[in-house]
A = this chain, B = another copy of it.
Amino acid sequence: MQDTPKGSRLHIAIFGRRNAGKSSLINALTNQDIALVSNIPGTTTDPVYKAMEILPVGPVMIIDTAGIDDVGELGALRVEKTMQVLNKTDLAVVVIEPAAGLTEYEQNIVSEVQKRKIPLVGVINKIDQFNVSVDLIKKWNEGLGLNLLPISAKTRQGIEELKRLIITSAPEEWEGTPIIGDLIDPGDTVVLVVPIDLAAPKGRLILPQVQTIRDILDHDACSVVVKERELKEALENLHRKPRLVVTDSQEFLKVAADTPDDVLLTSFSILMARHKGDLETLTAGARAIDKLKPHDKVLIAEGCTHHRQADDIGRVKIPRWLRQTVGGELEFDWVSGGSFPSDLSQYQLIVHCGACMLNRREMLYRLSVAREKQVPIVNYGLLIAHVHGILRRALSPFPLAQMLLDE
């Protein structure tokens, strides 16, 4: 994930006075304890850029402003450092500490952020230690022109809600992880396996396939587009081995058999899962399939209301595979299109489509809702790979996600 180009990481600047709990908040967002949480004033005065992963937001660049808070820097120097940070900020988070309350520092930051039209999220931290009255929140909200979210970085209260606010507030043009561009070098060849079955649109390709070809072109590489039956011949026709083979999920077994073991292999669904959502959350969801028991409830969510084939993947194939895996009956609910239930507590698993008709924001929102309710969520591509025993191979280009399989 450290390979993700800087430009596609959402740059989140965290502002707050000393003791507001900025470091704890960063740790809570990233689920990492590697950054030491400390009350001892730091010695650095420059903002620190930390490339991190916030699930399910994706790769982000956290800008830790510890050195330029209300104690670390004074006057003109603080203003200059703050300007420097804001020039790189896609989204700002301002952290208020209840004991000190709303001061000139927060008001200045919020005013500078709003002046630049940078999306802004405000939180009140430490609500596990302080009882902040509704009246006080209302007063601070009015003072800043914001809706402050009460959280506790320590107990994680409100953290998933904060992630959701980050997702919904992120700027439109933020695209997140590229589809494939960060996995390839200029001059590479990528083989794309595109089966033509009844579900293929007449005379066209489906959107994820087109987007992948485009992303490969955008990264100065070359696509070889072929059906599964011509794959072997196409591979033999290349002097240099392809960097990667990407296949439609439904042909994974055949394609895996025809692709040399030392060539990385994945599926369009997995590329889109990573591009649209977050591969780690969905990989954890795939593992949860093994824990399903007979009579568990499964929600199958489709982003569009496509014409159903007789052997429809969401209505027929996936229920059949899951029943076979569990060795018994399961209860299924289906939702499709724009609807996604907010009450997920009755489900032991959510299976989501590839989300080709949903935007990244919508998919991240759904992942976030599932994470908050602690309901595992997987998508079609990862589920198919898992029930066919090829998930490890399909995750071969993604070592971090692959590691989750061994936990």
Residues of A within 8 A of B (CB): 186-187, 189, 194, 196, 200, 203-205, 210-211, 213-218, 220-227, 229-230, 233-234, 236-240
Contacts and interface: CB of A to CB of B under 8 A. Distances in A.
A246 to B, nearest CB: 13
Contacts of A221: 230
B196 A230 contact: no
A237 B238 contact: yes
Nearest to A224: B224
A222 to B, nearest CB: 4
Nearest to A226: B222
Nearest to A216: B225
A222 B215 CA distance: 19
Nearest to A187: B233
A220 B233 CA distance: 11
Contacts of A217: 194, 196, 225-227
Nearest to A225: B223
Given A196-B218, A223-B224, A225-B223, A187 B230 contact: yes
A211 B205 CA distance: 8
Say how many copies of this protein the assembly contains.
2
A75 to B, nearest CB: 43
A224 B221 CA distance: 11
A203 B194 contact: no
Contact of A236 (B186, B223, B227, B239): B239
Contacts of A213: 205, 213, 225
A239 B216 CA distance: 22
A194 B234 CA distance: 20
A234 B222 contact: yes
Contacts of A210: 204-205, 210
A3 B205 CA distance: 26
A189 B223 CA distance: 12
A230 B237 contact: no
A220 B228 CA distance: 10
Given A223-B224, A224-B222, A204 B194 contact: no
A223 B194 CA distance: 11
Contacts of A214: 196, 200, 203-205
A346 to B, nearest CB: 37
A225 B221 CA distance: 9
Nearest to A207: B204
A278 to B, nearest CB: 20
Contacts of A222: 224-226, 230, 233-234, 237
Nearest to A233: B187
A216 to B, nearest CB: 8
Nearest to A242: B237
Nearest to A194: B217
A105 B328 CA distance: 68
A7 to B, nearest CB: 14
B224 A220 contact: no
Contacts of A203: 211, 214-215
A226 B226 contact: no
A230 B218 CA distance: 11
A220 B226 CA distance: 8
A210 B194 CA distance: 12
A44 to B, nearest CB: 39
Given A196-B218, A205-B213, A223-B225, 16 more contacts: A186-B230, A189-B237, A194-B217, A196-B214, A200-B214, A203-B211, A204-B211, A213-B213, A217-B225, A217-B226, A222-B233, A222-B234, A222-B237, A223-B224, A224-B225, A238-B238
